[in-house]
Structure 1
Amino acid sequence: MSSRRRAVPVWRRGWVPGGLALLAGLAVAGHRRVPDLGIHLGSLWESVLPWSGLVVPVVLLCAVLRRSPVAACAAVVPAVVWAALFGPLFGPPLGGGGGAPGAGSGSQLTVVTHNVGADNPDPAGTARALLVAHPDLVALEEVTDAALPAYQGALDGELAYRVRIGTVALWSRYPVTDARRLTIDPGWSRSLRAEVRGPGGPLAVYVAHLASVRLTFDGFTAGHRDRNIGALVRALDEEPLRKVLLLGDLNAAAGDRALAPLTSRLAPAERGFGFTWPAALPLARIDHILTRGLPATAAWTLPATGSDHRPAAARVRA
């Protein structure tokens, strides 16, 4: 038996892992063409797309064990495709400026968004952790009535202007001249629009917490969230101000095709993967900062708080 194995030509070894590598490369390159099949399969695949790069070391390990140049060469395909798709996230700093986080000054704003979690055991400590970024705007989601005084006590001294509607809230260093509930679903109390008089002129700030998605036996249940996105897009299309910020927990991973209607109108502030959920071992970025007329110069995540999400931060030109 061992002599037969030694007699197998090297070009006949590793065809299975090599074939899987080629299929993975094709699925990554053509991720927009993966069908939903009524269960949001394509959306689910795009949600885990950054992790598709793990195929490469697995195939290379198989190539070493099988001494297969075929598998090793095939691993190059998903590696190149993955690098072409995600490499730009690790390229030059946003906006040509420094990539290190810091306080906004002059014509810049530092903004933070955080789903603080309705069951957060330390809301005051969470708020203080956000102030480390020296933010000019802080958007919070899942702000309960019981926790609101703690957030106010920590944030009001630094950010004098505040609006809260339902379970979302916005703190601002600059005057908030108008605020209203944003109706993206009947009875929905998890979104607002505020007008802020920033250093570079007025800007519209949207804070949104979209419907959750679930992975069930029936598929990736994202219909409610997608309807929220559609309503949010309609509101943005009617927005009269040129400068717009959208902050919040959109319950959609960065690569999910469901976000395309938003990212075709607003530019994501992203640097690296910026995973925000779950906080203990982040696997996806579902908390987003998107802009129009406010180019991002830096983007990063803050350390974990008492929430199951991590805060996302960005610096933008005002």
Structure 2
Amino acid sequence: MAQADRTERTTGPSWDTSAGPSSAHRPAGFLGLRHWGRDARGSGPWRRGLLIALLALLTAVLLAFHAELPNSTGNLGSLLETFLPWLGLAVPVLLVPALLRRSATALLALLLPTVLWANLFGGLLTDKSGGKGDWTVVSHNVAAANTDVPDTIRGLIASDAQIVALQELAGRQLHAYESGLAGAYPYHTVEGTVGLWSKYPIGEVSPVDLKMGWTRAFRAQVTTPQGPVAVYVAHLPSVRLKAEGGFTVNQRDVSAQALGDAIQGEPLKKVLLLGDLNGTMNDRSLAPVTSQMRSAQGAAGDGFGFSWPAAFPMARIDQIMSKGGLEPVDSRTLPRDGSDHLAVAAAYRYN
């Protein structure tokens, strides 16, 4: 027994090393990559998660070729482009099962929509503000069913804007806006359900025919410190998402063409467009307007600037656009009020 004890102390305990180092001493590696071998069914990391990879590639295709998705069936192209930034949520949603499945193929495929989304929208995540501007404009769909008109009026005055455009002015509420804004804005004009309030003189007001049968847009000449500016105020027709008809935008598209034609024929060099266009800058159907004007949010905003619905904004359908040397230096949304839209504001600098 003593001889055996001496032998054990000399040679140390016996270990079976045929299976390599004990798992207790193996490094786990990043994300547990030592477990990324074959699973119980014999599939390796490059063969697992093929469905996840396919969904990632489909997301990439929609991001890269959204303009090719036809509008012939339910206006699917315009519907996708209205909410296009939200397609990026597919990346984190697919990332979770890709990691759980330990799929190298899915992770590699997810790089493609990530890069494409960053290329399309990454610039909106940076602050492009150029500092305080010299004059500010606001556009707001105040909603015919506004639940707190006095609060909306207070918010508009607090914005300290020099020019304010309002849409969806209901007859019973119009007097409240006219009386409530009169002290801050000595000049104003209303055509149909849209109006313009200004600290600068307004002249040469004329309706713009949106092919709707009633007035929801007009053009006014405003004399600013930069000289005369043609200000267009517009509220394009609403769109609907219906089970039987898809994304119904036909009347909106007809009106967008009419508005684009009016702006294209504008004799003044400096032009502002303020209004609820019921569409985003990505929507191809608004190209008659967006192709010739610059979005304040895209040029000087910080973030996406979603304006609708106010309770949980998902799209920027309220726009401030310009052309002819009007360069925005800031763009933002205003705090929520009694409307189902958020007001949008942009600041410009004298040049």
- Are residues 4 and 238 of structure 1, via their aligned partners in 2, closer, same or farther at CA, if it must alter by over 3 Å? closer
* Pair 1:262-2:289 in alignment: yes
Residue in 2 that maps onto 1:90: 125
Distance in 1 (alpha carbons) for counterparts of 2:40 and 2:248: 48
Q: How far off its partner does 1:52 sit?
A: 0.5
Match of 1:284 in 2: 315
- Aligned-partner SS, 1:240: coil
Give 1:297's aligned residue. Answer: 329
Deviation at 1:92, TM superposition (A): 5.0
Give 1:1-318 correspondences, 5 Å limit: 5=40, 7-94=42-129, 97-98=130-131, 104-105=133-134, 109-216=135-242, 217-270=244-297, 271=301, 272-293=303-324, 294-318=326-350
Q: 1:186 to 1:59 in 2, by over 3 A?
A: closer
Distance 1:292 1:152 in 2: 29
**C-alpha contact (below 8 Å) 2:48/2:101 kept by paired residues:** yes
The question of whether the paired residues in 2 share the 8 Å contact of 1:254 and 1:284 is answered with no
Tell me the CA shift for residue 239 of structure 1: 0.6
Q: Contact between 2:212 and 2:255, CA under 8 Å: does it hold in 1?
A: no
Structure 1 stretch displaced more, 275-284 or 3-12: 3-12
2:18 corresponds to: none
Per the TM alignment, residue 39 of structure 1 is displaced from its structure 2 partner at its CA by 2.0
More deviation, 306-315/119-128: 119-128
Q: Under a length normalisation based on structure 2, what TM-score does the superposition of the two structures give?
A: 0.84
Task: Note if contact 2:281-2:290 (Cα within 8 Å) is conserved in structure 1.
Answer: no
Matched letter for residue 156 of structure 1: A
Aligned to 2:30: none
Mapped to 1, the partners of 2:187 and 2:80 lie a distance apart of: 41
Alignment correspondent of 2:35 = none
* CA shift for structure 1 position 146: 1.3
> TM-score with structure 1 length normalisation?
0.93
- 1:55-103 Cα shifts (integer Å, max 9, x gaps): 1001110111111111111111101000000012223515xx12xxx5x
Which structure has the greater CA radius of gyration? 2
- Residues 124 and 153, structure 1, Cα contact 8 Å, conserved in 2: no
SS at match of 1:51: helix
1:176 maps to a residue whose letter is I
Amino acid at match of 2:338: G
The count of residues paired between Structure 1 and Structure 2 equals 307
Q: Give unmatched runs, 5+ long, in structure 1.
A: none
Q: What is the alpha-carbon distance in structure 1 between the residues aligned to residue 45 and residue 125 of structure 2?
A: 37
Moved more, 51-60 or 180-189: 180-189
Distance 1:4 1:233, change over 3 A: closer
- Secondary structure of the corresponding residue to residue 319 of structure 2: strand
Matched to 1:138, the amino acid is V
Q: Report the secondary structure of 2:106's partner residue.
A: helix
Q: Provide the aligned C-alpha RMSD in A.
A: 1.5
The runs of 5 or more residues in structure 2 that have no matched partner are 1-37
